């Protein structure tokens, strides 16, 4: 495509800012609209996989992001009271040079915001987008000047986007999240995401998540909580919950000492939704959770959004017109997304749910089966986000996967 487009990006999240950066660099006039008074991230730590890290490499952000994060080589969890392993994913089972990266969402957001601004994208705050005409490209909402018409509107407003019509299914379990200093006691593995389970009704996790504001290493602590109990959790004494959490995982007592008020933990609700198509007419396209949302069990949310942004920019760059570009975008991303949506539906009730049979089978079969070839390699590739070869489909493989010039084939 040779013509420069006037593009609106609704939502200044990971996917929206990545798309704004790539499209502004390609010479398009890009405006980003967000409802916050000043741009800011929502949430605590997250895990970047090979897929997301490769896209960040395309953005020129791989090196600073790695410097702000912590490399994770293993995901493992034990069930109580038996303390048997029910989750053990080692990236080295696939390749020695593959890893995930735990990072504070704020560090990733700041890097993407600076990148988008440097590329020439304009960011407009205090703007509530409530609608968009897929035929004319006109945006509707509070804080918008009249006559806002765009050649393309990119919906990056997440699972609750007002620009979507596909019903979303709220999942039964959400999670409490908190960012805490990394302890010096040596209790936790600094290169692993660790979890503890009681059936599927209780889950706690500790993930190393890089540095925060230059104040040293951090971790992200999370606690699974049924949505029906969320309001009661905030009303009840904090110590009542702490006793429950420590009973599940005694080694976290020192961490929980640093939590003195309910406000230090944010409750996240999760939804499952998949649009039949990300394209709504010739001038409206959905990316990230606005197209596909699910539980964080496989840790793919930010990585999928980055892949969507990269795919959309790739298609707009190579297609003869916008209609063909959006058609190619759907073709590129749909198989990968549907594969991971299906696997998320499968895995989520095994680790978060009220059922008894699935946790029972998990506790007795997961560990022995996960050690039988080729399961270790397949699990590592699954968590790394590479099933369906999404990088190859975007022409990004072989891709640099770390700063030491090693390649992914």
Percentage of residues of the chain with pLDDT beyond 90: 72
pLDDT, one tens digit per residue, over 265-275 is 999 998 888 87
Average pLDDT of 118-137? 95
Report the predicted TM-score, pTM, of the whole model to 2 decimal places: 0.93
Q: What is the pLDDT of residues 346-375, one digit of tens each?
A: 889 889 999 999 899 888 887 788 888 888
Per-residue pLDDT band at 298 (split at 50, 70, 90): confident
pLDDT at residue 406, as a whole number: 36
Residue the block writes with tokens 């009303």: 235
pLDDT at residue 404 is higher than 50: no
Average pLDDT for residues 44-53, to the nearest whole number? 93
- The fold for domain 6-168+271-408 equals FAD/NAD(P)-binding domain (3.50.50)
* pLDDT attached to residue 409: 33
Q: What is the pLDDT of residue 39?
A: 62
What are the boundaries of each domain within the chain? 6-168+271-408
Q: CA–CA separation, 191 vs 71, rounded Å?
A: 6
40 CB-near residues (< 8 Å, 6+ apart): 106, 109
* Cβ atoms of 394 and 311 closer than 8 Å: yes
CA 248 to CA 350: how far, in whole Å? 18
pLDDT digits (tens, 9 = 90+) for 198-254: 999 999 999 999 987 667 899 999 999 999 999 999 999 999 999 999 999 999 999
Token pair in block for residue 69: 């994060």
Distance (Å, whole) CA 312 – CA 331: 11
* CA-to-CA separations, 303 to 47, 124, 287, in angstroms, rounded: 8, 25, 12
178-198 pLDDT tens trace: 999 999 878 899 999 999 999
Q: Which residue has the tokens 């059936």?
A: 199
As a whole number, the mean pLDDT across the chain is 90
**CA–CA separation, 142 and 246 (whole Å):** 46
Residue 40: its pLDDT value, please? Answer: 62
Q: Using CB atoms within 10 A of its CB, is residue 365 exposed (0-12), middle (13-18) or buried (19+)? A: exposed
Angle at 344 between CA 340 and CA 346, to 5 degrees: 120
Q: Is the pLDDT of residue 20 over 90?
A: yes
State residue 24's pLDDT score: 98
What is the Cα–Cα distance from 313 to 196, expressed in whole angstroms? 40
Q: What is the 3-state secondary structure (H, E, C) of the chain?
A: CCCCCEEEEECCCHHHHHHHHHHHHCCCEEEEECCCCCCCCCCCEEEECHHHHHHHHHCCCHHHHHHHCEEECEEEEEECCCCEEEEEEEHHHCCCCCCEEEEEHHHHHHHHHHHHHHHCCEEECCCEEEEECCCCCEEEEECCCCCCECCEEEECCCCCCCCCCCCCEECCEEEEEEEEECCCCCCCCCCEEEEEEECCCEEEEEEEEEECCCCCEEEEEEEEEEHHHHHHHHHCCHHHHHHHHHHHCHHHHHHHCCCCCHHHCEEECCEEEECCCCECCCCEEECHHHCEECCHHHCCHHHHHHHHHHHHHHHHHHCCCHHHHHHHHHHHHHHHHHHHHHHHHHHHHHHCCCCCHHHHHHHHHHHHHHCCCCHHHHHHHHHCCCCCCHHHHCCCCCEECCCCCCEEC
How far apart CA 102 and CA 186 sit, in angstroms, is: 18
**pLDDT tens track for 67-115:** 999 999 999 999 999 998 998 999 999 888 899 999 999 999 999 999 9
For residue 48, what pLDDT band results from cuts at 50, 70 and 90?
A: very high
The answer to whether residue 143 scores a pLDDT higher than 60 is yes
Residue with tokens 């429950």: 244
């Amino acid at each position: 495509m040779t013509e420069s487009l006037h593009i609106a990006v609704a939502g200044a999240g990971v996917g929206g800012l990545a798309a704004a950066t790539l499209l502004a660099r390609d010479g398009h006039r890009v405006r980003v609209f967000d409802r916050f008074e000043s741009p800011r991230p929502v949430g605590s730590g997250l895990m970047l996989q090979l897929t997301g890290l490769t896209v960040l490499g395309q953005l020129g952000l791989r090196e600073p992001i790695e410097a702000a994060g912590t490399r994770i080589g293993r995901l493992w969890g034990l069930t109580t009271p038996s303390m048997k392993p029910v989750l053990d994913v080692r990236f080295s089972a696939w390749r020695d040079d593959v890893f995930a990266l735990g990072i504070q969402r704020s560090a990733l957001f700041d890097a993407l915001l600076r990148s988008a601004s440097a590329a020439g994208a304009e960011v407009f705050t205090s703007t509530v987008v409530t609608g968009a005409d897929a035929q004319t490209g006109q945006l509707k909402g509070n804080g918008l000047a009249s006559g806002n018409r765009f050649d393309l509107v990119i919906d990056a407003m997440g699972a609750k986007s007002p620009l979507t019509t596909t019903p979303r299914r709220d999942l039964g379990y959400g999670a409490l999240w908190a960012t805490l200093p990394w302890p010096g006691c040596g209790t936790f593995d600094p290169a692993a995401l660790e979890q503890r389970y009681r059936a599927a009704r209780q889950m706690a996790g500790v993930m190393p998540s890089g540095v925060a504001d230059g104040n040293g290493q951090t971790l992200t602590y999370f606690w699974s909580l049924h949505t029906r109990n969320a309001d009661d959790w905030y009303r009840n004494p904090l110590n009542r919950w702490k006793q429950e959490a420590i009973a599940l995982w005694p080694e976290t007592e020192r961490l929980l000492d640093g939590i003195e008020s309910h406000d230090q933990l944010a409750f996240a609700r999760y939804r499952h939704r998949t649009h039949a198509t990300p394209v709504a007419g010739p001038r409206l396209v959905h990316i990230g959770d606005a197209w596909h949302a699910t539980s964080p069990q496989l840790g793919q949310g930010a990585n999928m959004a980055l892949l969507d942004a990269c795919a959309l920019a790739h298609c707009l760059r190579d297609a003869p017109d916008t209609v063909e570009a959006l058609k190619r975008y759907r073709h590129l991303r749909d198989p990968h997304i549907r594969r991971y949506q299906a696997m998320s539906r499968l895995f989520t009730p095994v680790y978060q749910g009220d059922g008894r049979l699935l946790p029972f089978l998990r506790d007795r079969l997961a560990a022995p089966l996960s050690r039988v070839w080729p399961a270790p390699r397949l699990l590592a590739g699954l968590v790394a986000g590479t099933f369906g070869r999404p990088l190859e489909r975007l022409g990004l493989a072989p891709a640099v996967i770390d700063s030491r010039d090693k390649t992914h084939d």
